[in-house]
Structure formats: structure tokens, C-alpha cells
Amino acid sequence: MIDQTKLPHVFQITSSKDHAETAHAIRNMVLRGAGAIGVAGAYGMAQAAMEAENLSMNEFESYVEAAADRLMRTRPTAVNLFHAVDRCLNATASGSVAERVHKAVAEADTIAEEDISASRSIGEYGRELIGDGFCVLTHCNAGALAFIDFGTALSPIRFAHRQGKNMFVFVDETRPRCQGARLTAWELQQEGIPHAVIVDNAAGHFMRRGEVDMVIVGADRVAANGDVANKIGTYEKAVIARENGIPFYVAAPRMTFDLNCGSGDEIEIEERDASEVLGMWGIDEEGSPSRVLIAAKDTPARNPAFDVTPAKYVTGFITEIGILRPPYSESIPQAFGGVGIA
Ligand code: RUB
């Protein structure tokens, strides 16, 4: 895993020795982003199966079920984690212990390969929506760090730029964890795509002045009716985009759709620690990791990590099978009936 807590200042590959460490890495956002969490959950299940390979069948089954439970309790909102862990658990449901171990590893590899292929297709379909000279606004990080190999929201941007289109990207800072300022800006810099980081509060300003042609974001879970859970602040961007007649697209593969979820009201929204709101962290001028307090230490704070954008604000979903358009209660089930769990 790339340790995303250290980016953009230090690029460090880290690894986890067992599924418990993988769960810890997901919880603490060493890696984050719906797709990356899903793939990490899948490999966590593969690790658990390997850890249990010398146990009896009954012990093996209990061990992997407990591992699935531990991995699924790390972060509640992104559905990719649940789909991926379920798929790996199902893969270990038959055969000898040795065969089950093999199947768990193979299923994790398959999920990773599917994500790579989906992210490429999202880029290929999505680039057609981006005109030459466009200015695109994005929120949080839905790039290659969040979803292997090209990202979701950043994939169309990447592919349009590779096509030779002139473009500019406004990157929302995305407090409190600053995934935009730290991660999206870093990815765009790697790819040579012109961009500027803006504070979260500035998006409306640029939209009202006509400086934004479209918004593209990723998603952590899309309900069957098209409501979208994504990083906190997404909802505001969608409403302001609508107010200003700016198209608002959500880039998401089938693994992010949850047909068992009728509407956004059923999506559990993760609440994280208040310390993320009360402080900021980065590096000091000597390059050492450093944390500063903004508010007084004991100030009460609320820290919802996600919000729900009602489907009516979404111009279209950029998926690996094409662009889905409203009415979503028809187009989503048509496209992804039987979604997620193999
Ligand atoms: C990440 C986030 C991203 C989505 C989309 O939240 O909200 O926009 O996960 O990512 P966090 P993807 O940083 O808290 O995990 O590209 O995987 O669909």
C-alpha cells in the first residue's frame, strides 16, 4: 500500500503482515477511497484465509468469518468494502481448506483486476463529456490512490488530458483530512494537469462567476434511486452547481452501487474523531510531520465524514458501461441488477 497519510510530502510503500493490520490501515486511512478500501478488504480476507490454512475446517470457517466481521467494522459508508469482503467470504464457502485459501486469494485478485478495468472504462466514457478548454471542479480524492488504476472522478480528467484537451481543474481542499489538497493535487501534478487548490468555501464563488464548466466527483455508495454518499461537502457542491446551471457528474463503478439500499437515507454516515476538525497536520519547514491545533483542545466538534446528495442533483453517472441518465430508479437497476455480490 502507498501510505496516504504521508503524501504528498513522503512517498512510502507500507505493508501489513496480517488481516488485523490491514483492518487497522483501513480504519486509520493509511489507504482510503471507496475502491481502495474494497480491494484492501478483499486482500485482508485473502490474508485471513492464509493465516488459517493449517486449521481444521470448522476453525477455518470461524476464523475467516471473524476476519470478515473485523474488516467490515472498519469504515461503514463505502459499500465497496462490503461487496468485496462478501465476495471473498463466499469464495471460501466450499472445497478443502487449501482450495478455499486459493479461492480467497484468486477472488481478491479478480476484484482488483475488475477495478482496474472499470477505472479505465470510466475514463474512456467520461472523457467525451469534457470539452476542450473546460474547467472541471472536483472534491476529495477520487483518483488512482482511491481506486486502482486510474481513479473514478480523475479518470475522465486524466484521459481527456491524454487526448490533448486543454483543461484546468479546481481541487477542493476537502477539510478535515484534506484529501484534495494533499492527494488530488499531488496526482494532477504527477500527470502534468493544470490545477489549483481552493478552500472548500470558494467553490460557490468560482461557480457563480462562470469559471467552472462541470463538476465530477466519486462516490462511496450510490443507492438504488441514485442518491449519492460521498465525502462531506459534496452535497453543497451539487446544489450550487444546479443553482448555476453547471453539470454535476458522479463517476462510479458497479461495485459502488448498492441496490439493497433504496435511498440515501438508509446509508450509514461515518462520524470520525473530533480531533480531525480541531487540528491540521502536515510537515514543518524542516520536513518533520507536525500537527497544529486550530481550536481550543476541548472545543466540541462534529465530524461527519460523508454526506448524501439527492439524485435530483446528479446530471449523470459515469460508469464502466457508459453514462447513466435519469430517471435513476429505472436506469440504475437496468444497468446493475444483481449488483456487487457475485
Ligand atoms: C473518499 C471519498 C471519495 C470516494 C470516491 O473518502 O469520499 O470521493 O471514496 O472514491 P475517504 P472512489 O477519503 O474518507 O475514504 O474513487 O474509490 O470511488
Tens digit of pLDDT for each residue in 214-266? 999 999 999 999 999 999 999 999 999 999 999 999 999 999 999 999 999 99
Contact 34 CB / ligand 1 (< 6 Å): yes
Cell, residue 291:
500537527
Measured CA distances, 33 to 9, 68, 259, 285, 342 (Å): 19, 19, 20, 29, 22
Whether residue 336 contacts residue 259, with contact meaning beta carbons closer than 8 Å, is answered with: yes
DSSP helix, strand, coil percent of the chain (3-state; round to 5): 45, 15, 40
220 is catalytic: yes
Contact 176 CB / ligand 1 (< 6 Å): no
> In whole angstroms, what is the distance from residue 251 CA to residue 238 CA?
14
Whether residue 317 contacts residue 235, with contact meaning beta carbons closer than 8 Å, is answered with: no
- How far does the centroid of ligand 1 lie from the alpha carbon of residue 25, in Å? 15
Nearest to 218 by CA among 3, 38, 27, 35: 35
Rg of the chain over Cα atoms, rounded to whole angstroms, equals 20
CA 100 centroid distance within chain: 29
Contact 318 CB / ligand 1 (< 6 Å): no
> In whole angstroms, what is the distance from residue 155 CA to residue 132 CA?
16
With b for 16 or more beta-carbon neighbours within 10 A and e for fewer, the 26-47 pattern comes to: beebbbbbbbbbbbbbbbbbbb
The number of CA neighbours under 13 Å toward the Cβ of 159 is: 19
Question: Which one of the listed residues 115, 172, 220, 258 is annotated catalytic?
Answer: 220
- How far does the centroid of ligand 1 lie from the alpha carbon of residue 293, in Å? 25
Nearest to 19 by CA among 89, 76, 83, 78: 89
Q: What does the pLDDT profile of the chain (342 residues) look like in tens digits?
A: 999 999 999 999 999 999 999 999 999 999 999 999 999 999 999 999 999 999 999 999 999 999 999 999 999 999 999 999 999 999 999 999 999 999 999 999 999 999 999 999 999 999 999 999 999 999 999 999 999 999 999 999 999 999 999 999 999 999 999 999 999 999 999 999 999 999 999 999 999 999 999 999 999 999 999 999 999 999 999 999 999 999 999 999 999 999 999 999 999 999 999 999 999 988 887 777 788 999 998 999 999 999 999 999 999 999 999 999 999 999 999 999 854 433
AA identity, residue 43 = Y
Contact 231 CB / ligand 1 (< 6 Å): yes
3-state SS class at 337: coil
Transcribe 218-271 into DSSP letters: --SEEETTS-EEEETTHHHHHHHHHHTT--EEEE--GGGEETT--SGGGSPPPB
